[in-house]
């Protein structure tokens, strides 16, 4: 007997997308998405409010978790962390900006696939280490980078961290999204194993690594052209 699965609860995803595109307050957008999803799933209002309250209680210490590493990273940077990272990568002959980010993408995605999602991130890893090492690798071969080119590679360093985390964590069997999908399918009569769902994340993770690595190598090869173009347009150090 085939069970019809209602897709109306996914309306919360649309609310999040529209809210962020219009740059509304993030808390209001997420709250509205939760309420819309609950109403679409025909949950009683008191249960929706209970779920929102439970989520708030669980995440009320999140700002402290996010802010605590900032002074530590600031102290490390003040005492020469960025300079040491740049000097170290400048001593590696074969290092280029693209190759360095490909290596970081591999490590980030592999670590996330094993559940080590905190091994990386913009504040503790990209800002103090990965971005300066990427700049140093580019400057080692091409000299000082124009500001536009420098900012472009900083953005690619952050994007590489996002890609590695996003596609790597879906391979970890105990990750929240895997459990959520397994529970949702089970509630709608589709019984499956979380390990089976995680294994189906492997092709996507591999494809993401190959595609993003190809983008990085392509940008690496275009780096001299980007520098020349930026200098011709009057962008200087």
Domain borders along the chain are: 1-60, 64-232
Burial 167-189 (b: 16+ CB within 10 A, else e): bbbbbbbebeebeebbeeeeeee
- pTM exceeds 0.75, yes or no: no
Higher pLDDT, 225 or 116: 225
Q: Using one digit for the tens of pLDDT, what is the confidence trace for 51-100?
A: 777 766 555 555 555 555 666 666 666 666 667 666 766 666 777 889 99
DSSP 3: P
pLDDT at res. 1: 44
SS3 label, residue 89: helix
Q: Which helix (H) or strand (E) holds 45?
A: helix 45-59
Q: Using one digit for the tens of pLDDT, what is the confidence trace for 138-152?
A: 888 888 889 999 999
């Amino acid at each position: 007997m085939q069970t019809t699965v209602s897709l109306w609860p996914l309306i919360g995803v649309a609310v999040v997308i529209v809210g962020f595109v219009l740059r509304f307050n993030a808390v209001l957008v997420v709250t509205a998405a939760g309420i819309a999803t609950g109403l679409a799933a025909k949950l009683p209002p008191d249960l929706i409010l209970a779920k929102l309250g439970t989520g708030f209680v669980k995440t009320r210490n999140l700002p402290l978790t996010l802010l605590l590493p900032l002074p530590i990273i600031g102290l490390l940077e003040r005492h020469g962390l960025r300079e040491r990272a740049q000097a170290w990568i400048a001593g590696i002959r074969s290092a280029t900006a693209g190759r360095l980010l490909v290596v970081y993408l591999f490590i980030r995605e592999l670590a996330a696939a094993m559940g080590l999602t905190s091994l990386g991130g913009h504040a503790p890893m990209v800002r103090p280490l990965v971005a300066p090492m990427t700049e140093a690798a580019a400057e080692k071969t091409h000299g000082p980078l124009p500001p536009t080119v420098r900012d472009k590679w900083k953005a690619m360093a952050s994007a590489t961290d996002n890609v590695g985390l996003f596609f790597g964590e879906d391979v970890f069997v105990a990750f929240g999204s895997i459990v959520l999908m397994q529970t949702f399918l089970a509630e709608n009569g589709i019984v499956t194993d979380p390990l089976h769902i995680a294994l189906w994340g492997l092709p996507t993770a591999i494809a993401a690594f190959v595609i993003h690595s190809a983008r990085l190598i392509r940008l690496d090869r275009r780096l001299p052209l980007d520098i020349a173009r930026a200098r011709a347009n009057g962008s200087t150090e």
